Structure 1
């Protein structure tokens, strides 16, 4: 399938970028250490004002949130193509731009999944969470689902700001903090009024995080699958939206011949 070949070829650049940014030592002792410290900070903060149940809630939410932090970096890294001057070449290529950009920053959901899994399975037991053997595969699958569905949302945001490169870091940070606030990371979604809960339901993290919490609580397979299905649907919708915005961006540039687009 052509789209798979495009993603695979583009992903080669993504992982070359990753190797240039991080050595394994820098990733483990720099990035991963920073993320574990962040999870520990929010968990201790919650422990100071809550009980063991609240502590467990916070460690799961913030451990999953570490993967979201990496995945929304696609907003910034997509802008690297504009800085590099390659957009005009992409406009001339027959490939659909969404698949090029999907592969181009694929290092973020892969690295983010690894970060979250270490945080969940290494820090979780230290704060009283008991992971049983039958939890491991479902939690791992749901973390990967969280990463890729959030990545699809990030691609949509990246497409929106591709022609406003100065906003890329602002938008990625705003998206991260909004999801941290309303998706059930720090407080339950039900804490918010109906309009906020409705908006949160459009974000894949709300549903995938709920599914992870259901696994941790040993809920039945049906509610877990239902929550995961909602996350997958949200991710697919955001990817479709990203497809349309990328196509519109490239079409405008080709039609006008305006170098400002590229």
Structure 2
């Protein structure tokens, strides 16, 4: 845990360097709320007002996914900073260093989604009972963290190909936005697309959030959330294997350098 803690200290230092409270609130948060509003209004125009509630839930939760996947780009900063070779030589597992190093993104993303759900949502007919609010908050955090695990796996894949980092992260969240139930139900797509969606944590956690807003019982919501968390942990395991494999090959071939 001390490895994650020290890496997280660097992560939040980066966060303070990137954002002030003003630029985060009126820049990033404002941009994400505008994106949610755009998709809700577009969907209401195309599919009618009854679809607005569906879209605001999906797109509000999607905002934390977008920010969590920033880990794909920020992980490549280690190579640019010349620290990747030092990480390869250190006795600590690189996975936990990278885990803490970009933890600011799911934290910030969860905050964005919470504002979108509880402040913007009611403007489009999304209502919350007092008992639903803490459960929804937990689901948002689980979505941000589980997606972060998936993002760590993608980060390990592009660590040696930093030039495609933004392409991979953008393609990742756009595909999730399309097939995981954000804009249209998963069963809108052919069955093979649905099988792919089942391997993404967002699909299950968004389903849990929709069940909550539809008034389903805690057992149903918890079951769907547990599946999403399990899928996310599986991606964390895959990320660990990918990081270890990358660094092992680099040590053997002497290809881990101090510059991009």
- Specify which of 129, 138, 146 is matched with residue 149 of structure 1: 146
Q: 1:198 to 1:261 in 2, by over 3 A?
A: farther
Query: Are 2:94 and 1:86 equivalent residues in the alignment?
Result: no
Distance 1:20 1:45 in 2: 35
Distance 1:86 1:97 in 2: 11
What is the TM-score with the length of structure 1 in the denominator? 0.97
| 1:61-91 Cα deviation digits (max 9, x unpaired) | 0000111110111000000001111000001
In the alignment of these two chains, the number of paired residues is: 259
Query: Are 2:54 and 1:65 equivalent residues in the alignment?
Result: no
Query: Are 2:193 and 1:196 equivalent residues in the alignment?
Result: yes
Q: How many angstroms does 1:53 deviate by?
A: 2.8
- Gaps (5+ residues) in structure 2? none
Query: Are 2:194 and 1:171 equivalent residues in the alignment?
Result: no
- Gaps (5+ residues) in structure 1? none
Q: How many angstroms does 1:261 deviate by?
A: 8.7
Distance 1:154 1:24 in 2: 25
Cα root mean square deviation, aligned = 1.0
Instruction: Give the structure 2 partner of residue 39 of structure 1.
Output: 36
- Specify which of 204, 207, 213 is matched with residue 210 of structure 2: 213
Q: Are the counterparts in 1 of residues 64 and 109 from structure 2 also a CA contact under 8 Å?
A: yes
DSSP-derived class of the 1:133 partner: coil
Distance 2:48 2:134 in 1: 28
Query: Are 2:52 and 1:55 equivalent residues in the alignment?
Result: yes
Instruction: Give the structure 2 partner of residue 158 of structure 1.
Output: 155
Q: How many angstroms does 1:259 deviate by?
A: 3.8
| 1:201-230 Cα deviation digits (max 9, x unpaired) | 000000000001111111012211111011
DSSP-derived class of the 2:209 partner: helix
Query: After superposition, where does 1:93-132 map in structure 2 within 5 Å?
Result: 93-132=90-129
Instruction: Give the structure 2 partner of residue 229 of structure 1.
Output: 226
Instruction: Give the structure 1 partner of residue 255 of structure 2.
Output: 258
DSSP-derived class of the 1:163 partner: coil
